Homo-oligomer: A and B are copies of this chain.
Amino acid sequence: MPKSSTPSRERIVAGAADMISRRGLSATSIREMAKHAKAPLGSTYHYFPEGKQQLASEAVLYTGDWVARSLRKELEAGPAAGLNAFLALWRKIVVDTDFHAGCPVLAVAIEEPPADDIPPALAAAAEVFEQWEGLLAGSLREHGADDERAAQIATLIVAAVEGTVAMCRAKHSTEPLDRTAAQLQTLIAAAVGG
């Protein structure tokens, strides 16, 4: 049998990330995530015995990692190049899905946890935001920004891009991304003395 008939763990995680980015976490069941990834529910539970929160956490961390890989690579050419790659990646997602998908990390971040504790997926979202902020801040520092300013601009970039993707989805337009991009580029240029 061809290998592709066996759903890989990664394919289920990637499918879950896509689905959460479209619909949010609460509105998505593990059954639907399995179906979306064309995986039997049995294999899904086999890979993720702790259920939905485990799969959602891995989907968030998976998104965190592929974005971080792209960021790390592009940041070698400096913070402006890193920002452009970060923007391009989200622009591609909203355009390719006709404004139906966005960021699963944001989706998980804005859903009230069911109980008073912090569920794994929410903790994963916090971790991913930190990861992206850390990469951007590190690059800004390397290019001459002081610690505080680097940290502030890094947080602003992640927050602004996340918020802008949401605005693009509501407006069915990429104009918000064009506007945000222009201002963030100016800000980076000023911070690194460009």
Contacts and interface: CB of A to CB of B under 8 A. Distances in A.
* Interface residue SS majority, chain A: helix
Contact of A180 (B118, B130, B152, B169): B152
Contacts of A24: 24, 26-27, 110-111
Contact of A166 (B110, B113, B171): B110
Contacts of A166: 106, 109-110, 159, 162-163
B160 A179 contact: no
Given A26-B27, A102-B110, A156 B170 contact: no
Interface of A: 22-24, 26-27, 100-103, 105-113, 118, 122, 125-126, 129-130, 151-153, 155-156, 158-167, 169-172, 176, 179-180, 182-184, 187
